Amino acid sequence: AVLADQIAAGEVVERPASVVKELVENAIDAHSTQIDIEIEDSGLKKINVVDNGDGIIASDVELAFRRHSTSKITTKKDLFKIKTLGFRGEALPSIASVSDVIMETATRLPPSNIIHIKGGKIISQKMGARSQGTEISVFDLFFNTPARLKYLKSMQTELAAISDIVNRLALSHTNIAFSLKSNGRLLLETAGNGKLQQTFSAIYGVKTARKMIEINGEDLDFKVSGFVSLPELTRASKTYISLLLNGRYIRNYQLTNAVIKGYGSKLMVGRYPFAVINIGLDPLLVDVNVHPTKQQVRISKEEELVQLLVKTIYQRIAQENL
C-alpha cells in the first residue's frame, strides 16, 4: 500500500505548494472559518495547517490516511455534482507516504486524537486535549523520495508557489480568515468577512484594490462576476488572473485568454491585468475529475463562456473610458 501511495503521491504531491493546497482544501471542506498556515524552509522542513473545522471522529482517523477512502462522496452520481474541493481520497495517504506527518483532530466531543505516520507507516496513535478542529504538521517532505527533491525549483520559487496557492484559496473563500507565515514572518492575513475587495486588498495592497472595477454578466448557462483591473494596472505575468468556477479555483488557458481579450487593444504587449472572476454554472456542465489535482476541469459549452467573458469585460472597460 505504501508503494501505491507513493506512486499516487507523484501525481498529487508535486511540490510543497501541492501539500499546502491539499491540506487547506481539506480544512475548507471541513467548514472551517479560520485557517492558519505556517511553513518553514519553503515547506520542505515543515508545513503546519491549523483549522477550526468539523474534525474527524476517532474511528475515521486512521481511515483518512487510506487510499480512496473519502467521506465526501458516496455514490457515483455524486461525482457529477461535486460541491467539496476534495473527493478522491488520495491526498492524505499520498502526503503521508512521502513525509513525516502528525495530525491532531477533534470533533465537538473530546478527547482529540493524535496520529503519527512516517513514510506511510503508523508510528503511534494517542489521545489529546485539543478543542474542535484539526492541526496537521508535515515534516521533511520527500525525505524518502530523493529524486523528487532534486526536481524542485529554488526555495524562493517554491515559496512563491505556496504564496500563490494560498492567495487563490483566500480569494475563492472570502468568508474564511486565512493567515500564512513563512519562517515566522507573516505573509498574509485576511479578515474572512466575505468581502472580495477586502480580501483582494489584503493580498495585493490597498492601492491595487482601488484600481479594480466590478464586472457582472450572464447568459442562459453562465454567470460571471468579480473584479478586473483598469487597463493602466498591469503586470508582466498572467498569474494575477484568478478564475473560480462555482468557488473552486481553476487553471484554464482559454478562459484566461478570454479575460485578456476583453481588454481589446488596451493592454501593452506582454502586459496582463489583475482579475478575480467567479463563474457560476450548473455543476452538470463541468467535469472536475480530469486530473488528480483538480485544477484542470472540462467545461461543456466552453466557447459560449469565452464569448460571455470577453463581452462582459470589453463592455465594462469601454464604460470606464466615457
Can you give the binding site for ligand ADP, defined by CB under 6 A? 22, 26-27, 30, 51, 53-56, 64, 70-72, 86-92, 134
Instruction: Tell me how far apart the alpha carbons of residues 247 and 169 are, in angstroms, rounded to a whole number.
Output: 9
Q: Output the smallest distance, CB 314 to ligand ADP, in A.
A: 38
d(CA 256, CA 293): 19
Smallest gap from residue 167 Cβ to Mg ion (A): 19
Q: What is the chain's Cα-based Rg?
A: 20
Strands 241-245 and 248-250: antiparallel
Query: Which of Mg ion, ligand ADP, none has residue 5 at its interface (CB below 5 to 8 Å by kind)?
Result: none
Q: Is 231 in the site for Mg ion (CB under 5 A)?
A: no
**Residue appearing with cell numbers 505504501:** 2
Cell 503521508: give the residue. 96
The CB-nearest residue to ligand ADP is 86
Chain positions 250 to 269 lying near Mg ion, rule: CB under 5 A, are none
The cell numbers describing 19, all together, are: 501539500
313 within 8 A of 262, measured Cβ to Cβ: yes
Stretch that binds Mg ion, among 18-26, 35-43, 217-225, 227-235 (CB under 5 A): 18-26
Distance (Å, rounded) from C-alpha 181 to C-alpha 169?
A: 15
**Strand order across the 46-51 sheet:** 121-128, 112-118, 100-106, 133-139, 46-51, 34-40, 177-182, 185-189
Q: Which of 261, 276, 274, 292 is nearest to 85 (CA)?
A: 292
Minimum distance of Mg ion from residue 23's CB (angstroms): 8
From the list ligand ADP, Mg ion, none, pick the one residue 252 interacts with, judged by a Cβ distance below 5 to 8 Å according to partner type: none
Nearest approach, Cβ of residue 131 and ligand ADP (Å): 14
Q: x/- site string to Mg ion, residues 81 to 100, per CB under 5 A?
A: -----x----x---------
Give the nearest distance from C-beta 194 to ligand ADP in angstroms.
21
Among ligand ADP, Mg ion, none, residue 27 binds (CB under 5-8 Å by kind): ligand ADP
Binding of residue 26 to Mg ion (CB under 5 A): yes
Which residues contribute to the site for Mg ion (CB under 5 A)?
26, 86, 91
